[in-house]
Structure 1
Amino acid sequence: MSSSHAYTLLKKEIKTIADLSRWQKSQAFKEYQAFIETLNNAVKGKKVSDDIEETPQCKKLLELLDTLSMWIDEIPPVDQPQRFGNKAYRTWLERLTVNSETLLKNIIEEKDWSSIIELQGYFNDGFGNSTRIDYGTGHEMNFASFLCCLFKLRYLTDQDYEAVVLRVFCRYLTLMRKLQTVYKMEPAGSHGVWGLDDFQFLPFIWGSSQLISHSLKPEAFIDPVVAKKSSHDFMFMACIAYINEVKTGPFAEHSNILWGISSIPHWTKVNSGLLKMYKAEVLLKFPVIQHFSFGTMLSINPAEV
């Protein structure tokens, strides 16, 4: 993006199911999907515990997420009759929204401050909904879009691919699990992530890519001991370990789609299947995409051939 580029407030464009075809042909759809696949390829066979270069830009993002985590400690849950949806979350998210412009100015160069009008939209919507006190794949998509825009600004570059997934996104997941646990957030949508998981999707995609060519087979992740032991190295296993912590009963009953995935023989097939599922069950689902917003960095305009 050039220094003279004119940024704009984000705007919702998907208002009817018929608009989904416009979205699927858009520059935003093409670039977002390519972004997810690029990061997917970047972490093939890589462990979270590997020695990965962290540029100063990535370190600033990690510090930003640590600040948001610290705010949770400063804003404890309030006493309330209902068990779920603690209203203190609204205080936390309001602090984020009020301070997001300053937070973003602290990480990007002054020459790019005009882009904050768009970055803020994705960043603010990346941590859940204040009214419903819920979180789901649409919010996760907003945070991923925020990262995608940082690449478009050249704040992040090709050398950051691995660290963005295995450091920044992992830290984001830790933050989201803390928010979910402390404030008892609800899954967004009656089916969470359409049966895969209540809250997340991307760590299953990128996490299965990490496991390609590993000696652990997909059938192994349903063993809670194996999932826990491998959770520090693989995002997929960390997701399973978290599910085992927060859900009770037989795994096949509370996580039936994942149970079915465990029967697939190879991680390559799991990974390609999850990429297809993400497109079908998140990117092309009207209840998710109707809330997504567009600007100039991720535009609704038709993609160039």
Structure 2
Amino acid sequence: MTEKPTSRILTQEDLDVFLQSKTLDALLEFVLALRDACKGRVNSFDCGESNAVTATLQLLEDIEKLTIAHSAVSNEKSRFGNPAFRDFYDDLDAKLPSLLESSYPSLSNDEVVELRTYLLESFGNRTRIDYGSGHELNFMCFLLCLFRLDVFDESDYTRLVLHVFNRYIALMRTIQSQYWLEPAGSHGVWGLDDYHFLPFLFGASQLVGHKYLRPRSIHDSEIVEMYAKEYMYLGAINFINSVKTASLRWSSPMLDDISGVKTWDKVSEGMVKMYKAEVLGKVPIMQHFMFGKILPIGPLPSESLSEEDKSTSHDGHVHGEGVFGDCCGIKVPSAIAASTLSHNGELRSVRPIPFD
């Protein structure tokens, strides 16, 4: 019987087991290999083509077409997520099996089921209409699964960052802007960015050794705009600047602090340490991590608890104590929504307004 990957981490003890697992090792090895593959390379770097990467790019194009079919509904009086996102999500859920089968015809039905689960969760949460670094992590899992299934190989690493991941980020910005997805916990005041982490990790590696651009260059708006299309890090800063008027010191103080680091090498290494600690090392984020046959995990401590003990753990759902995690805690309105609403509630073109 075909089974979908499921979330199994409930406690810190469960997470501790995962942090010592082969699946975590494989995930980190994959992320680091991708980071190294894009080191010193701009987004337009000519890294050739491969059939698997071309198929994946077409898959993302087909998904973007669904956003056109499901335009946002009138929601001018709310800065929270647009309910049309659920229509997009349901349509995507229904179409993904056929999209995946046509993109990767060599895969079995069971493998398609696993891939579908990771890819669907890469676009946000249907109920909360939000998105965060945990959803972004699902896209990495999707790519890692394809690598483990021999759809991709090591020669695709550079393409996976500069072409596929970059295309995914562009699609997510479309979805975030169209449906006003709410930040899933780790928004700019507490994390790097309202939504993403990996564009900064990969983006810092791209900038290693650059002759002129320095970490402090993110404060020069002209430089940011000039190089936003070539470097993920600056592209992410440019997107933040497009929806927030407050300086990075206020809207994204962590990025402001990081800009004081002298070299991109140190920023790159720091991003890896931060990713391990603030994403992979947090229960509120990793409780949503899904395990299946391709990305397995053995028995976890919480699975030996009695039903009574499990029922006292928020029905198997953990919230961070005093810390915002990628979870479903306090609803945070979309800064994108704020930037597209005028004072009288009428929509206008995207322009930054004071929000933070």
TM-score class normalised by the smaller sequence: over 0.9
Match of 2:12 in 1: 17
Match of 1:219 in 2: 216
Bigger mean CA deviation after superposition, 202-211 or 65-74:
65-74
Match of 1:48 among 11, 34, 43: 43
Equivalent residues of 1:27, 1:298 under 8 A apart:
no
Match of 1:255 in 2: 252
**How far apart, in 2, do the equivalents of 1:193 and 1:17 lie?**
25
Equivalent residues of 1:7, 1:115 under 8 A apart:
no
**Superposition RMSD in Å:** 1.5
Please report the TM-score for the alignment, with normalisation by the length of structure 2. Answer: 0.81
Q: Deviations over 1:181-207 (max 9, x none)?
A: 111110001646942111000110001
Q: Output the amino acid matched with 2:232.
A: M
**How far apart, in 2, do the equivalents of 1:239 and 1:111 lie?**
34
**How far apart, in 1, do the equivalents of 2:189 and 2:117 lie?**
22
**How far apart, in 2, do the equivalents of 1:145 and 1:165 lie?**
14
SS at match of 1:125: helix
Change beyond 3 A, Cα 1:193–1:66:
farther
Match of 2:100 among 90, 94, 104: 104
Match of 2:132 in 1: 136
Task: Please state how far the C-alpha of 1:114 moved relative to its aligned partner.
Answer: 2.9
Match of 1:230 among 227, 231, 237: 227
Q: Deviations over 1:201-221 (max 9, x none)?
A: 011000100000112111111
Bigger mean CA deviation after superposition, 232-241 or 101-110:
101-110
**How far apart, in 1, do the equivalents of 2:257 and 2:108 lie?**
46
Match of 2:142 among 131, 136, 146: 146
Name the larger-Rg structure.
2
Q: Given the alignment of the two structures, is residue 272 of structure 1 paired with residue 230 of structure 2, yes or no? A: no
Q: Output the amino acid matched with 1:171.
A: R
Bigger mean CA deviation after superposition, 163-172 or 67-76:
67-76
Match of 2:33 among 27, 35, 38: 38
Match of 2:165 among 141, 166, 169: 169
Q: Deviations over 1:237-279 (max 9, x none)?
A: 1000000001111221111000111110100000000000000
Task: Please state how far the C-alpha of 1:144 moved relative to its aligned partner.
Answer: 0.7
Please report the TM-score for the alignment, with normalisation by the length of structure 1. Answer: 0.94
Q: Deviations over 1:123-179 (max 9, x none)?
A: 110000010000000000001100000000110111110111000111100100001
Match of 1:93 in 2: 89
Match of 1:3 in 2: none
Size of the alignment, in residue pairs? 297
Match of 1:127 in 2: 123
Q: Relative contact order (C-alpha < 8 Å, sep 6+): which is higher?
A: 1
Match of 1:301 in 2: 298
SS at match of 1:283: coil
Match of 2:63 in 1: 68
Change beyond 3 A, Cα 1:146–1:16:
same
Q: Output the amino acid matched with 1:14.
A: I
Q: Given the alignment of the two structures, is residue 29 of structure 1 paired with residue 24 of structure 2, yes or no? A: yes
Q: How does 1:280-291 map to 2 (within 5 A)?
A: 280-291=277-288
Match of 1:116 among 112, 122, 131: 112
Q: Percent identity?
A: 40
Equivalent residues of 2:203, 2:233 under 8 A apart:
yes
Change beyond 3 A, Cα 1:111–1:206:
closer
Structure 1 unaligned regions, length at least 5: 1-5
Equivalent residues of 1:28, 1:299 under 8 A apart:
yes
